[in-house]
Structure 1
Amino acid sequence: METLTFDSDDLSVTEDFLSRAYARMRIGSSTPDSSRARIRRAGMDSVSVDELALDFEMSYSVTPLGRICLCVVHEGTVRDHAFQGVEDSFGPGDVVLLAPPDLPYAGRICHARYTITLLDPALLDQVAGSLADPADRPVRLTGHRPHSDAAARQLRRTIGYLRDEVLADPAAADQPLVASTAAQHLAASVLSAFPNTALGQEADPDRGDAHPRALRRALTYIDDHADQPVTVAQIAAAAHVTVRALQYAFRRHLDTTPLAHLRRVRLAQAHRDLVSADPAGEATVTAIAARWGFHHPGRFASLYRDTYRRAPHRTLAGE
């Protein structure tokens, strides 16, 4: 897990830091003698969440980031923000894509407090997978604002959960299954919130339906790799079908999704560990849940009770 903090009122120092933390950029201010910037970052391999507070008006011109960059404004405004074909301004409550990973952008931040979330574009492909054939281009976001207020609210909640629940607990964030699950959840929320090239590419699902043998290969792969970070694309590759065909097969034959089935398998493994643990030993429900990718104890307990009709701590106690 990566963490960093920055606090300076020197504009040149701030420019140097921002260029190292994000991408090469030029910044300016009409009040360079009063230009305090505070930044706090927490991140994992493919995702980071930064909290920024700029107590002045700052212009910026940024080279391509190479990453998907989401901005949630809490206070102040972002004005005259522009990249190829787009010019917009944002205020409190807005959540936006600052620019596609391969495009530069520029604008002005005015006495603002905001959150920047960076994620590897490959996460979108891992979640969406290939919808047609291996020659498909990577999934791209085609709009910079969510398609609805409800989608924006859900994305803000997902970013808040990642920041406050996962990245706030370094021990949990360093668990591979917790990290991969949280990153995929964020990527899925991004795809759900923004228009993207994965939408509208669905062929007739019956034409791509996976044969039961392929479904069995997928189930075997999930069973054998439940203790590792797993993506839908990896499951589909193991089954020798496209992601779309795999998803349709799970819905048609099992009335679920690949990731929902993976979660059930991991829950069963957590149940097995709770049953086999020594009640007088050092094992805890929280540690066992995190080992299988369940970071939030309350959500794990609720899911466990729904499935096994008892609280996990009772199972651990041998009751």
Structure 2
Amino acid sequence: MSRLSRLRFIDVRRTRGPVRRKVRSRGVPPALAEHEIFYTEDVRAAARMVGKVLSPGTLELAEGAEPGFAASLYGVRLRDVSMLYLDLHVAVTLDIPALGPYVCVCMPTNGRVVCAGHGPTFEANTVRALVTSPDTPVTLRFDHDSPMLMIRIEAQPLAAHLTRLLGRSLAHPLALEREFDLASEAAMRWNTAVQLLHAEVYYGDSLVQRGQGLGTLEEFLMSSLLLLQPSNYHEELVRPAGRRERGVVTKATDFIEAHLSERITLGMIARNVHMSVRSIQQAFHDELGMSPVAYIRERRLTRVRDELTDALPSDGVTVTSVAQRWGFGHLGSFSVEYRKRWGESPSETLRR
């Protein structure tokens, strides 16, 4: 099984029946060509499968739509970022009352999609994308021949990444603007990030295909979106460094990230940021709502989960070796903490 074939938000095993392949290619990105999730010519079946990937909703043919409806979806998932390609072939309306816990950048590769629901109605096309927010309604009216490339980012990891960039907890949920101008000069960073993702998925000997560098690539995508797209935290993120004082928590977390696999004490953190232990503890409590020790444990648990998620049976990876590498010496206590944090045992993550 490829590291990039596990779409945990959809059970792909239920879609592997015999299908009638398309007669001609409709521009599927080369990296996704071998990762078809489903193909159907039945509208109800398409609505059901799209609902598994996005959120439950309805799919209706537009009045006077040309015959020949066929829905296909291709996709891969890294850890918390997925690249998906949806093609509905003819003019249809997709209505979703409430999206799931993710942010999705929806980029038509041809034609246009009129976007309504949460905020002003606008047209997404090859130079303007839609950015969705969790738990919001969306109605998408696809023109004929308007396939869409989607970059889906799970909400909780995105919020955690934003927290680390800011060096403080989020006072309000992240709210991104819906319209994303892909033709602007600044958007080149996002386009570059998407192209890098495509290349890493496409080439069989890439770092991502070998299970390396996934976190770095995902953080690049998240940072690009957060730094480019206006949001309720955008001004703070892009404020020039000369006008933005680096807080004690940011300095401390930078030190922790750089030494996460090593022994870390509060005294070491205090010496690195030139603050007292008590001041650091108070700053973490005020900004992140947790102690430095709890923060270190959370980050290590995340690293363990990342490695176990990426591992394949042929790698010979064991729960014990990964846990010990990230500073968990007592395996019994580690397993209890891991299950409490992720809702499953470490061995269950490794087998998935």
SS at match of 2:69: coil
- Paired AA for residue 219 in structure 1: F
The match for 1:18 is: 50
C-alpha contact 1:147 1:193 (8 A) present in aligned 2: no
Paired residue total: 228
In 2, the alpha carbon distance for the partners of 1:5 and 1:173 equals: 20
C-alpha contact 1:146 1:193 (8 A) present in aligned 2: no
In 1, the alpha carbon distance for the partners of 2:88 and 2:170 equals: 44
SS at match of 1:39: strand
C-alpha contact 1:95 1:152 (8 A) present in aligned 2: no
In 2, the alpha carbon distance for the partners of 1:216 and 1:117 equals: 32
1:210 is the counterpart of 2:244: no
In 2, the alpha carbon distance for the partners of 1:225 and 1:177 equals: 16
The match for 2:227 is: 192
1:108 is the counterpart of 2:141: yes
- Paired AA for residue 54 in structure 2: Y
Deviation at 1:150, TM superposition (A): 1.8
TM score, norm. by length of structure 2 = 0.56
C-alpha contact 2:128 2:183 (8 A) present in aligned 1: no
- Paired AA for residue 127 in structure 1: H
Deviation at 1:82, TM superposition (A): 0.5
Deviation at 1:58, TM superposition (A): 0.8
C-alpha contact 1:40 1:51 (8 A) present in aligned 2: yes
In terms of fraction of residues, the more strand-rich structure is: 1
Cα pair distance change 1:148/1:124, threshold 3 Å: farther
Pick from 125, 131, 135 the counterpart of residue 91 of structure 1.
Answer: 125
TM score, norm. by length of structure 1 = 0.61
Deviations 1:257-292 (A, max 9, x none): xxxxxxxxxxxxxxxxxxxxxxxxxxxxxxxxxxxx
- Paired AA for residue 105 in structure 1: V
1:40 is the counterpart of 2:74: yes
In 1, the alpha carbon distance for the partners of 2:125 and 2:173 equals: 31
- Paired AA for residue 5 in structure 1: I
In 2, the alpha carbon distance for the partners of 1:169 and 1:74 equals: 25
The match for 2:347 is: none
Deviation at 1:147, TM superposition (A): 8.8
Deviations 1:86-125 (A, max 9, x none): 200122232331x211201103111212201111123333
- Paired AA for residue 88 in structure 2: L
The equivalences for 1:67-146 within 5 A come to: 67-79=102-114, 81-97=115-131, 99-110=132-143, 111-129=145-163, 131=166, 133-134=168-169, 136-146=171-181
In 1, the alpha carbon distance for the partners of 2:43 and 2:256 equals: 56
Cα pair distance change 1:32/1:16, threshold 3 Å: farther
C-alpha contact 2:73 2:86 (8 A) present in aligned 1: yes
Deviation at 1:56, TM superposition (A): 0.5
Gaps of 5+ in 1: 227-235, 246-319
Cα pair distance change 1:101/1:11, threshold 3 Å: same
Deviations 1:16-49 (A, max 9, x none): 1111121101011144852012221111231111
Cα pair distance change 1:71/1:215, threshold 3 Å: closer
Cα pair distance change 1:22/1:126, threshold 3 Å: same
Deviation at 1:184, TM superposition (A): 0.7
Pick from 188, 191, 194 the counterpart of residue 159 of structure 1.
Answer: 194
In 1, the alpha carbon distance for the partners of 2:43 and 2:252 equals: 59
Q: Percent identity?
A: 14
Cα pair distance change 1:135/1:13, threshold 3 Å: closer
Deviations 1:162-216 (A, max 9, x none): 123246549743656511111111100111221012223479644x5439xx958
Deviation at 1:160, TM superposition (A): 2.4
C-alpha contact 1:11 1:32 (8 A) present in aligned 2: no
In 2, the alpha carbon distance for the partners of 1:105 and 1:170 equals: 38
- Paired AA for residue 159 in structure 2: D
- Paired AA for residue 154 in structure 2: D
